[in-house]
Each structure stands twice: as C-alpha cells, then as structure tokens.
Structure 1
Amino acid sequence: MRNCEIVGWGTSLPERTVRFGDEVRYRISDDVSHLDLLVEAAERALAKAGIAADEIDLVIGASAAGVQPIPCTAALVLERLTLTGHAAAFDVNSTCTSFITAVDVASRYLDTGDAETVLIVSGDVGSRFLNPAQRESYELFSDAGAAVVLRRSAGPATGVIASAQRTWPTYAHDTEIRGGLSRSPAQAYADAEPADYLFDMDGRRALLAMMRVLPDFFADFHDRSGIAYDDIALWVPHQASAALGPMLDRLGIPADRRIDEVTGFGNMVSASVPFMLARALDAGRIGRGDTVILCGTAAGLTANILALRL
C-alpha cells in the first residue's frame, strides 16, 4: 500500500452543449481557454480540501494535449493559482489515462515523504482538434477539466494498493495527432498536411486491439495484486466510446458497480476518469474505506489500471 488519500476534488464543464441524436457533448466557447478549465477545476479542488495554493508541494499536469509546448501545463496552472509558494510542477502524458499515471506517480512521492500535498490537474479541449469530416470522433468528444488534491495519509488504511500500465506499440498510430512539436513545427505549417493537425482515429482497429489485449491485462493485474472483483466498490473506467459497456461485460465487471456515462458526457479524454470519480464522490456512491479501480485505454496503445482505497 502506498499511503495517500484524496482530500479534495473539483471539475469544470463548459456551459455550451451540442447534441448528436440522444447523446450530449460539451464544447467550450471561443472566449474560454483550456487553461481556464484546468484552473477552475483546480481552484474547486483546493477549496474542497481547505488548502491554499501556497501549501501545495507538487503540481502534476495530466492532459493529453497540453496548453503549449513550453513550459509544462502544470507550471501554467500553478502561475494562475499563486506566484509564491514552494511547489514543483511537471507534466505526465499517457493521453486518455494521464490522470491514472499521475495518481501512480503522486502516490510514490507521498509514500516516501518527498511530498505531503499534491495537486493533479487533468483536462482537454478535444473540440479544438476535431475533424468534422471524421464523424466517428467528431461526435464522440467533450471538453472538461478535473482536479484532485492528494495528501499523505496518516495511517496505512488508505492509498494505492496496486497499479499496472502497459503499451502495445503495434497499435501506436491507430489514434494520433501528427502535426506540431518537433515532427512538424510551426514554421513548417504552410507546407504541412493540414489533416495532420487534427485528431485521427481508426476506431475499428483501436476497438479490436482493446478487446484483444485487455482481458489478459486485467486478469494478470488481479492475479498479481490479489484483488478480487468482490473487493471492489466501483470501477471508474475511461469513457472511451459506446463500446465501453460491451467491453466491461466482456471483462466480467458487474453493471451495478461501474460507471458508463458515454451517452451523457462523451469521451472527455484525460478528464474522463477524474471527472467520473468526482461525480461518484459527490453523489456518495463511494466513500472512505471503499476500494475503487481507475482504468482505461489510451493512444499508444496503452492500458492503465490502479486500485485505490479511499
């Protein structure tokens, strides 16, 4: 057990919605920035925790697509929260499962005593990268921000029980944005392929890959960790697509102990897992002493799973 506990959480959701049939998606307006969403979620998490920004030891940015190449998104969030304090700031990126990776990293800092309080900020504005001609993805994504405050726990009863992450590089290009950064820097944009700067997904191939690798990945995690399905109060998966329900059925995850809200919220990219975790906490669906599983797949192809006792 890596001792840590969630002491605050917050979310940020755009007011503007669009509908595709019976499905609702959230999209930011032109006068709202990615950073605005992240900072709003962070401020709400800190307020819930009763912690001032200057008390934070570490800020971890966990977005799939950051605000800008340099500096890291975590530093830009910290700048908006305080100009003093003593926090370090850095980003982690496993695209859609970045929050799970960040919790894993933060728990190690907290367990060793290198930090007492960590703020994790996740969120993406996928709508600014979508290709209207690619209907499958254009109608799937929502914009959102989410944040949690983790603190080193006083006792051994709460924290990260076990975690695992793996990448299957055979599927690395099934989901990607090719343009930008060193591969295609800004000065080369005029001669670049415009579609490279938009989100591109081979949904069918990505789904088949996920169905191929996840059963063994989950089985291995449970075997190694000793965590039985009956031990788990709630699974909080990345809300990847409408295929989530069938995939969870395939993994044997009970319908009454999992979150599937793709219809109402869509795929929120890195905000997906923390946003749904915050909703479950706010609703009282989970509480102290419960074991929750944070899990999902991401571009790479990466799979991520983490067991957390609240």
Structure 2
Amino acid sequence: MRKLEIKGYGYVLPKETVEFKGGIRYKISGDETQLGIGVKAAKKAMENAKITINDIDCIVSASAVAVQPIPCTAALIHEKIAKGTDIPALDINTTCTSFITALDMISFLVDAKRYKRVLIVSVDVPSIATNPNQKESYELFSDAAAAVVVEYSENGSGVIDGMQKTWSEGVHFTEIRGGLSNYHPKNYSEKTKEEFMFDMNGKSVLKLSKNKALKMVDDFLKKNEMKITDIDMVIPHQASHALELMMKKLGVKKGKYIDIFKDYGNMVSASVPFTLCWAFENGKIKKGDIVMLSGTAAGLTTNLLLMKI
C-alpha cells in the first residue's frame, strides 16, 4: 500500500443554478471563472487541512479542459496562491477521470517521499462549451471545482492499487474538436461553431462502457483478492442517470455507492473529488474504510482506484 492520507478537502459550486427535467445544474455567471473557482477550492482544502501554501510541495491541476493552452493550469493556480515560491506545478489530464489518475500517480511520489504534501485541484466549467442543440449533453453537466490535500502518513491510510485502461475505438464518442491544432481557432465561424462545442454520442459511450468496464472491475478486484462486498463505499463519477444501472450490474448495493447526479449533475473532472468531499461531509465514509474511486472518461478511458481512508 502506498502510504498517504487525505489531509483536507474543499469544493466550490457557482452561484447560479438551472433546473432541468433531469435535475439541478450549476453554471458560472457574473465575475466567476474557471480559474477563480479552482483557486477558491484550493484555498478551502488548505484551510480544511489547517495548513498554508508554504506546507505544500507540489501543485497538480487534474482538470479535463485547461484554462488556456499555455502555460499549464497548475501554473496559473500557482500564480494566484503561491507566487514568489518555487513549488512545482503540473497538469495531469484524462478528462473526466483526471483526479483518479492524478491521485494514483501522485501516490507513488508521496510514498517514495519525493513530496510530503500535494495539492490536487480539479475544476471544469462545461456550461461555456455545451451545445444547446444537443439536449442529451446540454442538460447533463454542472460547473464545479474540488480540491484535496494529500500527505505522507504512517497511520495505515493509503492507496491500495489503481488501474487505468483506454479503448480508443471510443475516442470520437466524446470530444471537442475545435480550439487547438486539430481544428484551429482561425477556422471558427457561425457555420463551424459547433466544432468548438462539446459533442457526445451517449448511447455509444454507454454501450462501450458496459462491455469493457464491467470486466475491468472484475479483473481489478481479482488482482487484489477482493470481492465487491469487501468495499465499504464506491465513489463513482457522476456521469449520468445510467449510474444506478451500472452499479447494479457491478453488484454494488444501494447505500454502498454515492449517487448525487440529480442534485449536482456531471461535473467532469471535479465529479469524483466533489463526490468524495460530499461523502466526507455527510458521514458516508470514515477512517479505516476501504473506498473505490471509479469512472469513465473520453478516450474511452476507465479508471479504478482502491484506497484505505
């Protein structure tokens, strides 16, 4: 087990809400920005951990969409909370599962004592890129930010194992084609604007996810000599209303997973850390619990991570 514990956490939801048939969604408005709510979540996590930026050894942005192409989003967060220091800052991106990937990778560095204490921030604002003509995805997402502070610990907490797989036959099921070198901004026009918006084939994503992810979970548990009933709580990506169906197929009983999709929607990279924060705040997980973080992302990528709290 890689030794580390979650020392503190914080999240931010925008002020404005929109109610659709499928539930409540949050969206930035006024002077709210992606960077702004991400920085607020980072500060809340450090406050919750009772530390200052001087106690942080590394800043990681684990977000699906960067604030700008260059520099990395972590450097922009650094400017707001750590300017004048030389704390390393880096981005880790697997779109919706970026937080799980980041926690998995950073756990090796913390366990090896390369870093003692790391701040991981996930923030996305899909409301500015969804297509109102594509109702399926337009009513799916919420803007949000979530952050955690993890640190080296000898108290029995840590990452037990992680697994990530990518099936690129689904690479075009979920994408934004425009904005960078593939479809340069110079090509933007009223005629091409939908190339710069989020595009998803939800049925194809769900079909591929069911075919691949279910076996992946089974393989992952067998690798760790565990059964699904050995897990105290599953913290899944709040992808869609299909969450309940997926958990049922995995054999996870109600009360053993967190489903807050109707109240908060799909928060992209912030989804898993936000759900983790929600579980802590609502007493759904406690010290010593075995939790599994899970999720699917564009790519199609699927991540699993087992952790002892």
SS of residue matched to 1:294: strand
Deviation at 1:262, TM superposition (A): 1.1
What residue number does 2:180 align with? 181
What residue number does 2:72 align with? 72
Q: Is residue 6–residue 149 contact of structure 2 (8 Å, CA) maintained in 1? A: yes
1:95-134 correspondence to structure 2 within 5 Å: 95-134=95-134
CA distance in 1, matches of 2:219, 2:249: 15
Deviation at 1:2, TM superposition (A): 0.6
How big is each residue's C-alpha offset from its partner over 1:193-230, in whole Å with a ceiling of 9 and x where there is no partner?
A: 21110000001111111111111100000010123223
SS of residue matched to 1:256: coil
How big is each residue's C-alpha offset from its partner over 1:8-60, in whole Å with a ceiling of 9 and x where there is no partner?
A: 00000011100112610011104210001100100000001111112211111
CA distance in 2, matches of 1:183, 1:72: 19
SS of residue matched to 1:297: strand
SS of residue matched to 2:160: strand
Is there any run of 5+ residues in structure 1 with no aligned partner, and where? none
Q: Is residue 96–residue 299 contact of structure 1 (8 Å, CA) maintained in 2? A: yes
Q: Is residue 229–residue 252 contact of structure 2 (8 Å, CA) maintained in 1? A: no
CA distance in 1, matches of 2:190, 2:280: 48
Aligned Cα root-mean-square deviation (Å): 1.3
CA distance in 1, matches of 2:171, 2:125: 22
1:87-236 correspondence to structure 2 within 5 Å: 87-155=87-155, 157-190=156-189, 193-236=192-235
What residue number does 1:39 align with? 39
Q: Is residue 56–residue 86 contact of structure 1 (8 Å, CA) maintained in 2? A: no
Letter in 2 for 1:257: K
What residue number does 1:302 align with? 301
Instruction: Please report the TM-score for the alignment, with normalisation by the length of structure 2.
Output: 0.97
Q: Is residue 57–residue 86 contact of structure 1 (8 Å, CA) maintained in 2? A: no
Letter in 2 for 1:40: K
Does 2:66 match 1:48?
Answer: no
Letter in 2 for 1:73: T
Deviation at 1:192, TM superposition (A): 7.8
How big is each residue's C-alpha offset from its partner over 1:117-169, in whole Å with a ceiling of 9 and x where there is no partner?
A: 100000100000000000000001000000000001124x1110010000001
Report how many residues are paired.
Answer: 309
How big is each residue's C-alpha offset from its partner over 1:82-103, in whole Å with a ceiling of 9 and x where there is no partner?
A: 2133311110111000000010
Instruction: Please report the TM-score for the alignment, with normalisation by the length of structure 1.
Output: 0.97
Letter in 2 for 1:265: Y
Q: Is residue 95–residue 299 contact of structure 1 (8 Å, CA) maintained in 2? A: yes
CA distance in 2, matches of 1:126, 1:28: 9
Does 2:41 match 1:28?
Answer: no
Deviation at 1:181, TM superposition (A): 1.5
CA distance in 2, matches of 1:129, 1:30: 17
Q: Is residue 126–residue 142 contact of structure 2 (8 Å, CA) maintained in 1? A: yes
Cα separation, partners in 2 of 1:202 and 1:22, compared to 1, 3 Å: closer
Q: Is residue 290–residue 307 contact of structure 2 (8 Å, CA) maintained in 1? A: yes
Deviation at 1:247, TM superposition (A): 1.0
Q: Is residue 11–residue 274 contact of structure 2 (8 Å, CA) maintained in 1? A: yes
SS of residue matched to 1:257: coil
Letter in 2 for 1:15: K
Is there any run of 5+ residues in structure 2 with no aligned partner, and where? none
Does 2:266 match 1:267?
Answer: yes
Cα separation, partners in 2 of 1:72 and 1:192, compared to 1, 3 Å: farther
How big is each residue's C-alpha offset from its partner over 1:166-205, in whole Å with a ceiling of 9 and x where there is no partner?
A: 0001111000000012112333435982111000000111
Letter in 1 for 2:16: R
